[in-house]
Amino acid sequence: MPKEITILVHGFNKNKSDMRFLESGLLSAGFDVFSVNLPTTFGSVKECCNSLFLQIKEFVDGADVVNFVAHSMGGLITRSFIESYGQEKVAKCVFIATPHEGSELALTANLIPLYSSIFKPINDLLPGANYPVFEADKKFKIGVVAGKSNTSILGMLLMHEDSDGRVAVSSAMAKDMDDFVILPYGHSDIHHKQETLLLTKKFLTVGKF
C-alpha cells in the first residue's frame, strides 16, 4: 500500500477513462494514483460520494497522505467526501473546472420536464447550490483551475460571462482556494491538456501553481 495516494475523480456523465490523460501523466511522474468509476450520469452527489468511499476506503485506511484531482462535478463529490469522512489525511486537492457556484446550463436543463428527475446530478449543479467550504478549520491545500474558452453552441448561447462553455470562471473560483489559475481551454478538454497536467503535478508537489 503506497504511503501517499492521489485519487482521480471524473465529472458528470463520464467514467474513469475521462481521467486517463492525467492518470498516465501522474503515473509517469512517479505519483501513485487510483482512478474511480462513479455513477455521475444518474446518481446524486451524495450517492456518488458513497460510491467513492467504498472504492477508496482501503487506500484511505492504508495511506498516510491522500490527494484528490477532480474534474467538474468530481470536485463537488470530493468536497462532500471530505466533509463526511474527514480531512485528517488529505493534503492537496486540485479542482479543475468545478462549478462551485453551479452552472447556468444546469438551470436550463432543469426547465426540461423530468430531466433532473432522471439525471439527478443536475439538481446538485444548479446555481446557488451550497457546497462544503473549508476555511478556518482547513488542514489541506486547494488549487483551482478554470477554463476560459467558450466555443460550444450551447455555451455561446446561454453563458453570459467568461466561461469554459459549461462553467463560468466566477463559478469555478472557490471561497477556500489557496491558488487559482485560468487556462485557455474548454470544459471538455481542459483536463486533457499538457499545461493542466504540469500545473497539477506542481500543486501536488509544492502546494501552489
CATH code of 197's domain: 3.40.50.1820
Position 153 scores a pLDDT of 62
Residue 50 is part of which domain span? Answer: 4-206
State the 10-residue block means of pLDDT for the chain, 209 residues long.
Answer: 93 96 98 97 90 94 96 95 94 96 66 62 69 89 94 64 87 95 96 98 98
Phi, psi for 39 (deg, rounded to 5): -80, 60
Residue 64 has a pLDDT of 95
Q: What is the tally of helices (H) and strands (E) in the chain? A: 9, 6
Total domains in the chain come to 1
Identify the residue whose cell numbers are 477532480: 70
pLDDT at 131: 83
Counting every residue written for the chain, the total comes to: 209
Q: Give this prediction's pTM.
A: 0.90
Predicted pLDDT of residue 166: 86
The Cα 61–Cα 5 span in angstroms is: 11
Give residue 99's pLDDT.
93
